[in-house]
Structure 1
Amino acid sequence: MEDLIPGLTDDVARECLARVPFNAFPTLFSVCKLWRQELRDPRFHRLRKSTGNAQAVVVLVQSVPDFARYTGPQTLPYRLVIFEPATGVWSSLPPCPCLPHGLPLFCRLAAAGTELVVIGGWKHTKRATTDEVHVYDFVSGQWRRGSPLPSPLRSYFACAATHDSDEGCRNVYIAGGHDERKNALRSALAYDVAGDSWKPLPDMARERIECHGVTLRGKFLVLGWLCAEAFDAATGSWGPVEEAAGEEFYYSKTYVAREDGRLYRCLGREVMVQLEGGVWAKVAELPGEMRRARYAVAWEGKLMVMGFGHDYVFLANILDMKATTTRTTMAAATWKKVEVAPGYRGSVLGACCSLI
């Protein structure tokens, strides 16, 4: 039987491979069949997490930097940008070969394990809604075309991925939005990333447009104007989010779930966490230079909030939250300013975070 690394036991070889930075995965992937199989094995990625070698990667749908060539926000081409919190490095992912004009406007983005899924949006050339699905694989460093989004074509829908992707189950849920005639939709779908297939879900109780998706404690939450619903995959049914009743979800893109099973939000100038019983507790105030928060992502005790300052320049800050003392209180938190590299200060239309 061939060894992963000649002269080493496979356990030691895995420890070595697990310490390689995620951006070197495409190089490892091209070495040999055994390494390709190892990088595809969910146990390898669980090892990276358990040994502290998994790296947080923040992914943004962001406009290209050459603003002078375009006449308005709806004509700006968009790309995928990544930020590595551990190193402070900003970079762009390889462009999708099937999208020569950039990512579709208002596309939805979800992180499913080591892959990024881009769904729908408006084509730049025709301003027409697209059913295209594109998947970027951090392991191989390549794009592939996914199975098209089933009809009806929709825009402004909620989208979120499950958090158990290292177990081999990688699903992306979408719900609501409006069709090409601007009719609000109740329908929902699930995309199996590994199987490249869609399946219908039960309809929501009501139509929702301009909604935002969050995965919280195994449920897919769809947050809309003054209301929310949750899909429980275990029971295959929708239910109300009781603790959300009456809450303001207009800026729902700043709602994010963390691995501690809690929901966080940025409302006004306050960052808040939802404690047991649906009670919201203040965690911190936004940094003084940030005028408004627009997006937030979370990973392992950190919350990255993105928005713009008084001069409308893109800003980002990371909130470092200390260990929670009880299930009903939150300890102190501190901000760290993110230095945004030149060329990565364009408008943002989507964000997610992956632990690779």
Structure 2
Amino acid sequence: MSVSEEFNKRAHQDLISGLPEELATECLVRVPFEFHSSIKSVSRLWRNLISDGCFNRERRRAGKDESLLCLVQPLTSPSSPVNSSVDGDVNDKKKEEEGESHSQQNQQLQQPRVIGTPLYGLSVYNATLDTWHCVAIPERIPLFCECVSLQDSKQLLLIGGWDPETLQPVKDVFILDFSSGDGRGWKRGKPMSSARSFFACAEAGVGSKQVYVAGGHDDQKNAIKSAEVYDVEKDEWVMIPPMREGRDECVGFSIGVGFCVLSGYGTDSQGQFRSDAEVYDPDTDSWALVEDVWPFPDLSPRGRTSAAVGSKLWCFVDSERECEARWEVEDGEGKWKVVMETVRLPVTTMTSVFAGSLSGQAVAMVGGGGEESGTMMVRTDGGKWSHVSTPSGFSSLPFSYASIYV
């Protein structure tokens, strides 16, 4: 298989001594991703080539890219947090760089500490190689942080959640750059304008490096209306108009160039999930209400909805629940359409589950939690579910996830 013309124009001579350029390039695109960090140190020529965006596209064209499922989940064997920084300072002086005054830091230090809270970590399932591993993180990540990936820049963001010691919502942003090597590119991003948890979060826009967040709750468990957008390249947050309603435990998706916030509940109606959604249109800088899109007032959309291929959303329901196989809602101007397709889980209503998508396939983590044994299942093209070998250290139910090609 020959390399594409686009990649060939940007490739370099003498990649491997004694081999033609085309053959040398074909060898390099077949190197598994876990070794990319190491082979970058071979030469500046190899580093520049592997860091080039065309190299990633060529791996995908050749069918040698790898599909990763990144899971934020409780660690079943807690260990002491790592305090040293990796690829950037993540120690206490960051608080000053993020604009926090000494008085604000003192207030944080005076927050009551909660002992015995679980440690959360980032687990990665490589679906291509059928392997699992934990990503080394330079400090304790927040509990219940949201996980979102940016495919074009090969970055993974962990946003918001709870401080693991005070259990207070945080503004934190952690960024993992997969292009710098698996687990070797951690840094802190600029914090959000508002501390929040259990909020909607998604990358939105065509070819964009922007992440939208909206809703969630504050430190008093009040549902939040506010929303903001993060420009990853500029490392800055910009507030956008608030939603019409405060939405706690909502979930976010990209719809076209817009951002959809699905369901959630208000401060005075906790646990009663709304049937509507709101869609933000960046062209008009406004929100539109979408009626009758979530028909389950007793069911959280978190862990039960996922973006599928195209503009379709999957709705994961228990095998015994009655509902339509498909429903859709669209605006009058034809800018967007919310299409929900039912995916039946191979479990009863009493089983814990967290479902999503991986490389265009439905995936579900069934059971698990704490030290209990759980398992991952993937739905094949024929609609049948098959088990994925899940080591005990990775069996707890995740809180959030993102998938990415590398």
Q: So what's the TM-score if we normalise by structure 1?
A: 0.81
Equivalent position amino acid for 2:148 in 1: A
CA distance in 2 between counterparts of 1:199 and 1:46 reads 31
Q: Which residue of 2 aligns with 1:107?
A: 145
Alignment of 1:3 with 2:18, yes or no, is: no
> Is it true that 1:333 corresponds to 2:372 in the alignment?
no
Say if 1:25 and 1:239 are closer, same or farther in 2 by CA, change over 3 A.
farther
Secondary structure of 1:348's aligned partner: coil
Which of 39, 54, 66 pairs up with 1:28? Answer: 39
Whether the 8 Å CA contact 1:262–1:275 is kept in 2: the answer is: no
Structure 1 equivalent of residue 196 of structure 2: 154
Shift of 1:245: 5.8
Deviations 1:97-136 (A, max 9, x none): 2x1xx32111111111222111122222232332221111
Provide the rounded CA distance (Å) in 2 between the counterparts of 1:232 and 1:48: 34
User: Within 5 A, what are the aligned runs for 1:25-64?
Assistant: 25-64=36-75
Change (3 A) 1:243 1:59: same
Asked if residue 116 in structure 1 is aligned to residue 176 in structure 2, the reply is: no
- Distance (whole Å) between structure 2 residues aligned to residue 335 and residue 187 of structure 1: 39
Residues 173 and 192 in structure 2, CA contact (< 8 A), matched pair in contact too? no
Aligned mate of 1:134, from 171, 174, 179: 174
Say if 2:74 and 2:397, in contact at 8 Å, map to a contact too. Answer: yes
CA distance in 2, matches of 1:172, 1:159: 7
Q: State whether structure 2 residue 378 is matched by structure 1 residue 318.
A: yes
Q: What corresponds to 2:226 in structure 1?
A: 187
Of 312-321 and 202-211, more deviation after overlay is shown by 312-321
Which segment is superposed worse, 132-141 or 154-163? 154-163
- The answer to whether structure 1 residue 344 and structure 2 residue 394 are counterparts is yes
Tell me, what secondary structure is at the counterpart of 2:31?
coil
- Distance change >3 Å, CA 197–CA 39, structure 1 → 2: farther
After superposition, the Cα gap between the structure-2 partners of 1:108 and 1:282, relative to the gap in structure 1 and judged at 3 Å, is closer
Report the CA distance shift for 1:107/1:238 in structure 2 as closer, same or farther (over 3 A): same
Q: What letter corresponds to residue 298 of structure 1 in structure 2?
A: L
Contact 1:223-1:252 at 8 Å conserved across structures: no
SS in structure 1 of the partner of residue 219 of structure 2 = coil
In the TM superposition, residue 234 of structure 1 has moved relative to its aligned partner by 4.9
Alpha-carbon distance between aligned partners in 2 of 1:190 and 1:315, rounded to the nearest angstrom: 35
Does residue 230 of structure 1 match 2:230? no
Distance 1:211 1:289, change over 3 A: closer
- 1:80 positional shift: 0.6
Report the Cα distance in structure 2 between the residues aligned to 1:235 and 1:34, rounded to whole angstroms.
Answer: 46
Q: Is the 8 A contact 2:315 2:340 kept in 1?
A: no
Q: TM-score, normalised by structure 2?
A: 0.72
State the AA in 2 paired with 1:294.
F
- Do structure 1's residue 18 and structure 2's residue 29 form an aligned pair? yes
Relative to total residues, which structure has the larger strand share, 1 or 2? 1
Which residue in the other structure is 2:270 paired with? none
Instruction: Tell me how far apart the structure 2 counterparts of residues 319 and 297 of structure 1 sit (CA, whole Å).
Output: 10
- Of structures 1 and 2, the larger Rg is shown by 2
d(CA) in 2 for partners of 1:232, 1:191: 16
- Give the secondary-structure state (helix, strand or coil) at the position aligned to 1:333: coil
AA paired with 2:127? P
Q: Which residue number in structure 1 is paired with residue 6 of structure 2?
A: none
Q: Distance in 2 between matches of 1:219 and 1:74?
A: 40
- Count of residues paired in the alignment: 336
1:307 aligns with 2:366: yes
Distance in 1 between the 2:36 and 2:27 partners? 13
Residue 280 of structure 2 aligns to which amino acid in structure 1? F
Letter in 2 for 1:118: L
CA distance in 2, matches of 1:92, 1:309: 17
Matched, 1:293 2:353: yes
Distance 1:67 1:151, change over 3 A: closer
Residue of structure 1 aligned with 2:133, choices 81, 91, 96: 91
**Separation (CA, whole Å) in 2 of partners of 1:290 and 1:42:** 45
Gaps of 5+ in 1: 322-331
How far apart, in 1, do the equivalents of 2:32 and 2:401 lie?
22
Q: CA deviation at 1:299?
A: 1.5
Q: 2:161–2:197: 8 Å Cα contact kept in structure 1?
A: yes
Q: Which amino acid aligns with 1:229?
A: E
Question: 1:83: Cα distance to partner?
Answer: 0.8
Q: Following the alignment from structure 1 to structure 2, what is the Cα–Cα distance between the partners of residues 139 and 280?
A: 33
Q: List aligned pairs for 1:199-210, cutoff 5 A.
A: 199-210=238-249
Distance 1:73 1:279, change over 3 A: farther
For residues 181 and 4 of structure 1, the distance between their equivalents in structure 2, rounded to whole angstroms, comes to 61
- Calculate the aligned-residue CA RMSD, in Å: 3.3
Which runs of 5 or more structure 2 residues have no equivalent in the other structure? 1-10, 81-113, 264-272, 330-337
Maintained 8 Å contact 2:317/2:345: no
